[in-house]
Amino acid sequence: MNAIAFLHHLKSLPNYRQQLVHIEHIPSQGTIPAKLDKLNIEPALKTRLKSLGISSLYRHQVTALNAILAGENVIIATPSASGKTLCYHLATLEAILTDKNSCALYLFPTKALAQDQLSSLKEIACPDFLSDGAIATFDGDTPQAERASIKRQARIVLTNPDMLHLAILPNHQSWYRLFRHLSYIVIDEAHVYRGIFGSHAANVIRRLRRICALYGSNPRFICCSATIANPKEHARNLVGLPFKVISEDGSPHGEKYFAFWNPPIIDEAKSTRRSPNSEASFLLSQLIMKNIRSLVFTHTRKLTELVYIYTHQQLSPLLSSKISPYRAGYLPETRRQIECQFFNGELLGLVATTALELGIDIGDLEATVLTGYPGSIASAWQQAGRSGRTTGSSLSFLIALDNPLDQYLMRHPDFLFSKNFDNALINPDNTHILQLHLLCAAWEKPLDSSDENFFGANTIMELGRLKEEGKVREIKNKWYLSPNIAYPAQGVNIRATSGKNYTVVDISQGCLLETVEESTAFSQIHPGAIYLHQGESYFIADLDLNTHTAMATPTSVDYYTQAKEITDLRVMKVTREKEHKGIKVYLGNVDVTTTVIGFKKKKQFTEAIVGEEPLDLPAQNFPTKALWFDLPRKAIERITNAGLDFYGGLHACEHASISILPLFALCDRNDIGGVSTLFHPDTGKAQIFIYDAYPGGIGIAEKGFEMITELWQATLKVIEECPCSDGCPSCIQSPKCGNNNQPLDKKAAIILLQELTA
């Protein structure tokens, strides 16, 4: 069944409720080729390509390769399935053919992607250019018995930033051969390295460059990314070196139909919509019934399990056996098995987190379903691009969540198809992150003033702070780790704000289920929480704060839980300010205290709230960056004269602004927090604050500060255009609000934003 026929099928169903609000037809594109003779590579490589049926390359591939071979660091920022992988494979093989000692290091954000690219590399390189043993993955799944031979023999090592940070760099002496002869470092899916993860990864890469310099190598970098607004800036921030950008796509693609699917309103008064999770399971079940190979993306592990359960219940036993969930947390052998079953067609459908968003070749998918806007245009296209990787027709659905951002896109689909505001944001100079990596670097090799070339101008200042804390010692202008600190990398989780984790234990079986990062533990595994693991529900009976252990027992309840929190904020320092038509906007350092105060129980399928319970958990405090702005006097007068709730307007504006900011920065709604108040003690006036929800900040507040007028305009649109009368989850309500979304005043928020944008 083709895409149009399937869409007509959906419309013909008795329970169709006008969910299809927009269908974008993206026509096919032909190849923009470039002949192999325009590429200055070894004749043996050209012969090998022709034997694989590749007689020409795309124009952007040749442009990229010529720049790489000329000695430039290159970032290739083109869409999914545009042939970026071949660029770095050919560059590294060219170096290996011309230098018998040359080596390369490939970095991938996930193990699954490394495994996939291992296969594609061996197809080109083996056995003509390299033996099987000369190409190897080295990650947490690599058997201990194989690790020594990889260090001795491998010419191309495929790994991830976590393994580089934790095992390779701290033991660099055993990797002498690789580092001494390293010609290329490949960073695939570079747009994924953003926020906290990206800030950590940037410091890991700086440590890598430092070790390469120690062994006398100066490798060039090849980065590959989805299309983002700032590829050159992002690559430079990530690596610390200048880059050339290749962004013109010369690859072919088949036609795609991109359908915007808005769950129907089930409560007209409250403008409440049907659960997007049940809509996703409905679409997947229909796709599977029509034998259409499909992949559903969700935002979280919990939702992956929920959508899988819902879909499983709607299918016959025969068809239900042809779908599976897929996410981080599963054992490596389980993930490999699912990938293999999906690739070879045993499985028709997968429900996955963003683990499968990246460039993994999972065969000829016909449809993708995005359960909610994934937080960025780049990720939306990466996920949608999993289907239609050949030149055939494909179908993608974007199911809107009941929040301001998703509803804005439902009413303004052109934003997704005609603009690229995505800015990948990282902050390698974040004190909390930089200090951790300076300790790791000191373990690898004593630090000195020359290391400012790698870690920046703040290096010596941060080392001074570490010295005051007794973590490093200064001896003859070199900094050494203090004797009481051993193997610091082991205590640094580069995908989290801290290196501390909570464990989830099934007390009925006495076994470990999973680990949860400390910063999210209170909202995910608090007492009374329902935690999902591999399709099974677990009730969190207790959370031991001393041992960092959550006690879980299997349960069969028909609801899930969602935490509520309250926030207090203090201004420490104003770092920048500007004026827009008489309204002052500020950027600065703030201190944030958050407390998870309770949780809601929400019915599966309907999302109806069936109960609320309080919690008594300690507050969590951290310094970060925030933007805030003064309020127009005219708006205050209009709100007062109309008898509206001024604080309700502030509160509503805060909620909606936080939800809309991800349109302009590559981030998730949970990466941002906010506070609104009638009187803030540090400013002496009514204020709205928007802050980075991570210690030290990662650049989101700065981007909001720079694009404040666009943010106000988009926020005004989403509130004005929402059909509800008094405010709803689609415009001004927040599921995490610790004040139960009280007070909120939609009309007051509109007046406030009208005057801000006047």
- Please report which helix (H) or strand (E) contains residue 480, including its range: strand 478-481
518 vs 504, residue with greater confidence: 504
Q: Is 336 exposed, middle or buried (0-12, 13-18, 19+ CB in 10 A)?
A: middle
Residues 371 and 273 both lie in one domain: yes
Mean pLDDT, the chain, rounded, equals 90
Which CATH number is 466's domain given?
1.10.10
Average pLDDT over residues 586-594: 96
Task: Kindly state whether residue 131 falls inside one of the protein's structural domains.
Answer: yes
Residues 331 and 410 both lie in one domain: yes
Residues 510 and 482 both lie in one domain: no
For helices 633-641 and 746-757, what crossing angle results, to 10°? 150
> pLDDT at residue 53 above 60?
yes
pLDDT digits (tens, 9 = 90+) for 596-629: 999 999 887 677 889 999 999 999 999 999 999 9
Query: What is the DSSP annotation of 70-105?
Result: TT--EEEE--TTSSHHHHHHHHHHHHHHH-TT-EEE
- Please report which helix (H) or strand (E) contains residue 371, including its range: strand 367-371
Task: Kindly state whether residue 625 falls inside one of the protein's structural domains.
Answer: yes
The answer for residues whose C-beta is within 8 angstroms of residue 643's C-beta and 6 or more apart is none
- C-alpha to C-alpha distance for 472 and 484, rounded to whole angstroms: 10
- C-alpha to C-alpha distance for 296 and 217, rounded to whole angstroms: 43
Task: Kindly state whether residue 309 falls inside one of the protein's structural domains.
Answer: yes
Residues 241 and 260 both lie in one domain: no
pLDDT digits (tens, 9 = 90+) for 639-657: 999 999 999 999 999 999 9
Residue type, 612: E
Residues 278 and 261 both lie in one domain: yes
Q: What pLDDT is attached to residue 328?
A: 66
The residue assigned the tokens 């005051």 is: 468
Task: Kindly state whether residue 606 falls inside one of the protein's structural domains.
Answer: no
> pLDDT at residue 669 above 60?
yes
pLDDT digits (tens, 9 = 90+) for 528-582: 999 877 667 899 999 999 999 999 999 988 888 988 888 999 999 999 999 998 9
Max alpha carbon distance in the chain (Å)? 81
**Which pLDDT band holds residue 357 (cuts at 50, 70, 90)?**
low
Residues 515 and 551 both lie in one domain: yes
Task: Kindly state whether residue 652 falls inside one of the protein's structural domains.
Answer: yes
C-alpha distances (whole Å) from 242 to each of 72, 231, 247, 477 are: 9, 11, 16, 30
For helices 746-757 and 646-660, what crossing angle results, to 10°? 70
Residues 629 and 750 both lie in one domain: yes
> pLDDT at residue 359 above 60?
no
Q: Minimum mean pLDDT among 109-113, 280-284, 480-484: which range?
A: 109-113
625 vs 740, residue with greater confidence: 625
C-alpha distances (whole Å) from 552 to each of 164, 372, 690 are: 33, 29, 35
Residues 448 and 414 both lie in one domain: no
Q: What pLDDT is attached to residue 678?
A: 95
Task: Kindly state whether residue 38 falls inside one of the protein's structural domains.
Answer: no
403: left (phi over 0), alpha (psi -120 to 50) or beta: beta
- C-alpha to C-alpha distance for 464 and 633, rounded to whole angstroms: 46
Express as a percent the part of the chain with pLDDT over 90: 64
pLDDT digits (tens, 9 = 90+) for 4-20: 999 999 999 998 999 99
**Which pLDDT band holds residue 714 (cuts at 50, 70, 90)?**
very high
Q: Domain range holding 138?
A: 56-196+223-246
Rounded to 10 degrees, what is the CA torsion of 207, 213, 219, 225?
20
Q: What pLDDT is attached to residue 324?
A: 94
Q: What pLDDT is attached to residue 199?
A: 92
Q: What pLDDT is attached to residue 355?
A: 64
pLDDT digits (tens, 9 = 90+) for 241-253: 999 999 989 888 8
Q: What pLDDT is attached to residue 389?
A: 64
Q: What pLDDT is attached to residue 475?
A: 95
**Which pLDDT band holds residue 76 (cuts at 50, 70, 90)?**
very high
Q: What pLDDT is attached to residue 594?
A: 92
Last residue of one domain, picked from the residues 391, 418, 445: 418
> pLDDT at residue 284 above 90?
yes
**Which pLDDT band holds residue 184 (cuts at 50, 70, 90)?**
very high
Cα atoms in the Cβ-side hemisphere of radius 13 Å centred on 201: 27
- C-alpha to C-alpha distance for 240 and 209, rounded to whole angstroms: 9
pTM assigned to the model = 0.81
Query: What is the DSSP annotation of 392-415?
Result: S-EEEEEEPPSSHHHHHHHH-THH
Last residue of one domain, picked from the residues 418, 452, 471: 418
Task: Kindly state whether residue 47 falls inside one of the protein's structural domains.
Answer: no
> pLDDT at residue 710 above 90?
yes
Angle (CA) 611 614 620, round 5°: 130
> pLDDT at residue 520 above 90?
no
Residues 386 and 450 both lie in one domain: no
Query: What is the DSSP annotation of 625-649?
Result: EEEEE---HHHHHHHHHTT--HHHH
Which span out of 19-33, 41-55, 204-218, 224-238 was modeled with the highest average pLDDT?
204-218
Please state the domain count of the chain: 5
Task: Kindly state whether residue 562 falls inside one of the protein's structural domains.
Answer: no
Residues 91 and 231 both lie in one domain: yes
pLDDT digits (tens, 9 = 90+) for 364-414: 789 999 999 987 787 888 888 878 766 578 999 999 998 898 999 999 999
Residues 659 and 741 both lie in one domain: yes
pLDDT digits (tens, 9 = 90+) for 200-209: 999 999 999 9
Last residue of one domain, picked from the residues 458, 491, 524: 491
Average pLDDT over residues 302-331: 88
Residues 472 and 582 both lie in one domain: no
Q: What pLDDT is attached to residue 134?
A: 94
